[in-house]
Amino acid sequence: MGSIAPHVLVLGGTSEARALAAELVARDIPVTSSLAGRVAKPRLPEGDIRVGGFGGPDGLARWLADHDVRVVVDATHPFARRISASAATATAAAGVPVLRLERPGWQPGAGDDWHWADTLADAARLLPELGTRALLTTGRQGLTEFADLDMWLLARCVDPPDETDGPLPARLEVTLSRGPYRVAEETELLRRHRIDVLVTKDSGGDLTVAKLHAAREAAVPVVVVRRPPRPDMPHSADVKSAVRWLVDHL
């Protein structure tokens, strides 16, 4: 493929990635947003869009060279560990600056009953000690980690699980929805399903934080899965500072 105008590659379909793409388009800075394609109907950012993987770090490095990418922003989900590792390796090989744009994680407040876990498997081991009816908000692809539990589980996902996601818990119900959520809605969900323990990843942000406020008000314990480690690279916690960094490197 021939070279096109030098531009920015934004990895990820997060709200921060979409906001950054919109800001760059408003500044007439060419931007391509790359989405993993795991969600059937994702919210689409402004600017150019590509969907799917790159074929590992080598494939990403070739894509950067072929498209004259001057800066990469890794704005993937805090738990999308594989693409972040590929981005670090590929940008180093291609000599392209890279920035990690990641919202801060959640912090417990007064009245919270949080139990930290390093992995989904660790979270599953904690559940029988904390309750009998759990709300899982950790995504459909990790449901197999809860397959051996003999307790009632409600999984909230954007898309329904399928056979490619692995074995599912026997006593599982699935509800499909997408944030943002309000505290009143989350409180009603806990009440209606008699939820006595909540499981979440430490995703951060405002779109889904209402479940934590509802759990606090209902005195429901929360199992929080810690974020995985990330490659060492420059970091920004918000879009405004990311734009400043980009302007300095373009």
pLDDT of residue 58: 95
3-state secondary structure of 168: coil
- Residue 210 CB partners (closer than 8 Å, separation 6+): 180, 181, 182, 183, 185, 186
User: How far lies 20's CA from each of 11, 72, 73, 196, 243, in Å?
Assistant: 11, 12, 9, 38, 7
CB 179 within 8 A of CB 207: yes
Which CATH code is given to the segment(s) 7-103+229-249?
3.40.50.720
Q: Which helix (H) or strand (E) holds 91?
A: helix 81-94
Helix (H, G, I), strand (E, B) or coil at 17: helix
Within 8 A by CB and 6+ apart from 173, the residues are: 152, 153, 154, 155
**In CATH, 114-225 is 1.10.150:** no
Q: Residue 164: CB partners within 8 Å, gap ≥ 6?
A: none
Domain with CATH 3.40.50.720 in the chain: 7-103+229-249
Rounded to two decimals, what is the model's pTM? 0.86
Taking only the tens of pLDDT, the chain with its 250 residues reads 344 556 899 998 889 999 999 999 999 999 999 997 666 677 788 889 999 889 899 999 999 999 999 999 999 999 988 889 999 999 999 999 999 999 999 999 999 999 999 999 999 999 999 999 999 999 888 999 999 999 999 999 988 998 777 899 999 999 999 889 999 999 999 999 999 999 999 999 998 999 999 999 999 999 999 999 988 899 999 999 999 999 888 7
Distance in angstroms (rounded) separating the CA atoms of residues 14 and 44: 10
Identity of the amino acid at 120: L
Look at residue 240 in the predicted model and tell me its pLDDT. Answer: 94
Q: Please report which helix (H) or strand (E) contains residue 22, including its range.
A: helix 15-26
